[in-house]
Amino acid sequence: MTDEQKKFMQLAIDLSRQGMQAGHGGPFGCVIVKDGEVIGKGFNSVAGTNDPTAHAEVVAIRDACNRLQSFQLEDCEIYTSCEPCPMCVGAIYWARPARVFYANTRKGAADAGFDDDFIYEELKLPTNERSIPMIHSHTDDAQRVFQEWIDMENKTLY
Amino acid sequence: MTDEQKKFMQLAIDLSRQGMQAGHGGPFGCVIVKDGEVIGKGFNSVAGTNDPTAHAEVVAIRDACNRLQSFQLEDCEIYTSCEPCPMCVGAIYWARPARVFYANTRKGAADAGFDDDFIYEELKLPTNERSIPMIHSHTDDAQRVFQEWIDMENKTLY
C-alpha cells in the first residue's frame, strides 16, 4: 500500500475503535475512497441501531451510494479494518468497487468471537443442510413474476 | 408448507410484483412472521433508493428488527420469493431466525439476469483470487483494536 492508502486504512481503524468505545457495536470500521477523497464511512452499529445488517462496510456503502446518488461504486476503493464477512462481501459485489483493502483477517475475527468463518462454511452447504434451515417451496406465481421481469421494458438493471 | 405458510409466501410474491411494477428494483419480495403475525416486509429497492444493499430480505430484516427493537429475529420465519443471495444469507445468519422459506431458486435468478450464483462461486475463492481484488494488509493497530474488544467489559455481543 502507498502512504496515502495506509492513511485511509488508519482512518478505517480509527473508526473501528471509535464505534467500539462508544458502544455502537463490534470493533469494525470502513472508509470508501474515490479520486483520493473519502466519500463514505461507517463503523459497526449493530447494537446501537438494533440492525443486524449495520456492519461497517454496509454502513459505509450506503453512505457512499447516498452521496453519489448511485447504487454502483465504480472506481472506488474500500478500506476496512477486517476481512469482510460473507454478507459484506455480497454487498461489495453488488456495489462493484474497484478493490478492497483489509487489515484483520477472518481468523482474527473468529478469535475475537465473530461468526464470519462459520457463515463462510454454511454458504457452501445445500440450502436444506444449513443450520438455519432454508426450505425450497416451488410456487408458480413466483416464477411468473420472474418472467414478467424478463419481459419488462425500460427496467433498471443492477 | 401449511395453508397459513402458503399465504405468507403469497404475500412475499405479491410484494415482489408490486416493487418491480413500481420501479423500485428487481422482482423480489419478503415477509417476516412471528407468532403468526407479519412483523416485517420489504421488496427490492436498489434502484428506487440507490442502495445496493436494499434487497427484499435486508429491507424486511431491518423493518422487523426495528419493530422488535432487537437485532435478533428469534423464533421468526422468513418467507422470500427467491433463494437469498449470499449477502442476504449472511444477513439472515446475523439475524438468526428459526427458518427460511423460498420460492424461486438461484438458478431461476441467474436466468432472470441476477448475479447470485456468480457471487456464491466468488466467495469460495481465496480473497486475492476474486474478481474484485481483496488485498490483505496486516496493520498492528487493527489487531490492537481486536485485543481491546476482547479485553472490554460490559460489551454487547451479537
| Helix extents (H) in chain B | 3-21, 46-49, 56-68, 86-95, 106-111, 116-123, 140-151
The pLDDT of residue B85 is 97
- pLDDT digits 0-9 by tens, A40-91: 999 999 999 999 999 999 999 999 999 999 999 999 999 999 999 999 999 9
The pLDDT of residue B9 is 98
Q: How far apart are the first and last CA of chain B?
A: 31
The pLDDT of residue A115 is 83
B72, B124, B157 ranked by CB distance to A124: nearest: B124
B88, B96, B108 ranked by CB distance to A146: nearest: B108
Q: What is the pTM of this model?
A: 0.97
Q: Testing the interface with A: which of B76, B93, B122 to mutate, by most A Cβ within 10 A?
A: B93
Counted across chains A and B, CB pairs separated by less than 8 A come out at 286
The pLDDT of residue B115 is 83
Mean pLDDT of A15-24: 97
- Phi, psi angle pair for A104, to nearest 5°: -70, 160
Mean pLDDT of A141-151: 97
Q: Is the pLDDT at B46 greater than 90, yes or no?
A: yes
Confidence of residue B52 (pLDDT cuts 50, 70, 90): very high
ipTM of the complex: 0.97
Q: Percentage of chain B with pLDDT > 70?
A: 100
Question: Between vectors from CA A73 to CA A71 and to CA A77, what angle results, nearest 5°?
Answer: 155
- Chain A residues touching residue B134 (CB < 8 angstroms): 83-84, 89, 99-102
Confidence of residue A10 (pLDDT cuts 50, 70, 90): very high
Three-state secondary structure readout of A60-128: HHHHHHHHHCCCCCCCCEEEEEECCCHHHHHHHHHHCCCEEEEEECHHHHHHCCCCHHHHHHHHCCCHH
| Angstrom distance (rounded) from CA B9 to CA B102 | 8
| Angstrom distance (rounded) from CA B65 to CA B54 | 15
- Phi, psi angle pair for B59, to nearest 5°: -60, -45
Mean pLDDT of B83-112: 97
Mean pLDDT of A19-31: 97
- pLDDT digits 0-9 by tens, A93-126: 999 999 999 999 999 999 999 989 999 999 999 9
Q: Is the pLDDT at B149 greater than 90, yes or no?
A: yes
B29 with B56: CB under 8 angstroms?
yes
The pLDDT of residue A38 is 98
| Angstrom distance (rounded) from CA A112 to CA A126 | 28
